[in-house]
Every structure is written in C-alpha cells, then in structure tokens.
Structure 1
Amino acid sequence: MDIRETAEFLNVSISWLYKNSTRSGLAFYRFGTGPNAKIRFKVSEVEAWVKQQREMGC
C-alpha cells in the first residue's frame, strides 16, 4: 500500500505515518531517494501491526 492508502486503512493522518511509523514499529519500504522517494507498506505487515497493537491494549 502507498502512504495514503495506509493512512486511510489505519485512520491516521499521512503526517502521523511519516513521523511515527518507525517509532511505533510499523515497517515501511522506501523506493528511491530524496523528495521523490516512494514509501510503501506491506498489507500483511500492517495487519500484523494492528493486531499487535490491539493485544497490547493501545
């Protein structure tokens, strides 16, 4: 999923994803460098992250 799709799926803002994805343990994949870099998330990893957050009670 791209950053927009992931933000919609998680019901968070795009800026939250940019600021907190690494800090919160949500893995992403960067393609390219600089301002034109594309960030993608694996659906299975996002779903696993959500499940983990629910189990932790966050």
Structure 2
Amino acid sequence: MNLRRVSAHCGSFNEASTGLLESLGFERKGTLQQATWFRGDYHDLYWYGLLREEWRTRK
C-alpha cells in the first residue's frame, strides 16, 4: 500500500491492545482524556502512530 504512516487507537483499559501496539513499535502520540465509555465509566483513549522509517529500522 506504500503507506507513510499507520495509526491506531485503543482504550486505556485495554492492556492487551496497548501491549501489542507497543511490541510492534508503535509510539503513543497522545491521550484523549475521558473520551470513551466502557463498562459504566469513562476512560482515556490512547492514540498510537508508526512511521514507515520506524518500521523499517525494526526489521
């Protein structure tokens, strides 16, 4: 696809997803405070990003 940047977001309560993204080399770029509702409470939403150059250096 020749993408320059890939981004992802997940809730702060989702430790499995945050762990996976970080193990793949994604960096947390920002936090939206109390942006998502889950199981009766508001939680932060984490935004992750990975540039093409960063991915190539990990291989």
Which structure has the greater CA radius of gyration? 2
Which of the two has greater strand per residue?
2
**Bigger RCO of structures 1 and 2 (CA < 8 A, at least 6 apart):** 2
TM-score under structure 1 length normalisation: 0.38
**TM-score normalised by structure 2 residue count:** 0.38
Q: Higher helix proportion, which one?
A: 1
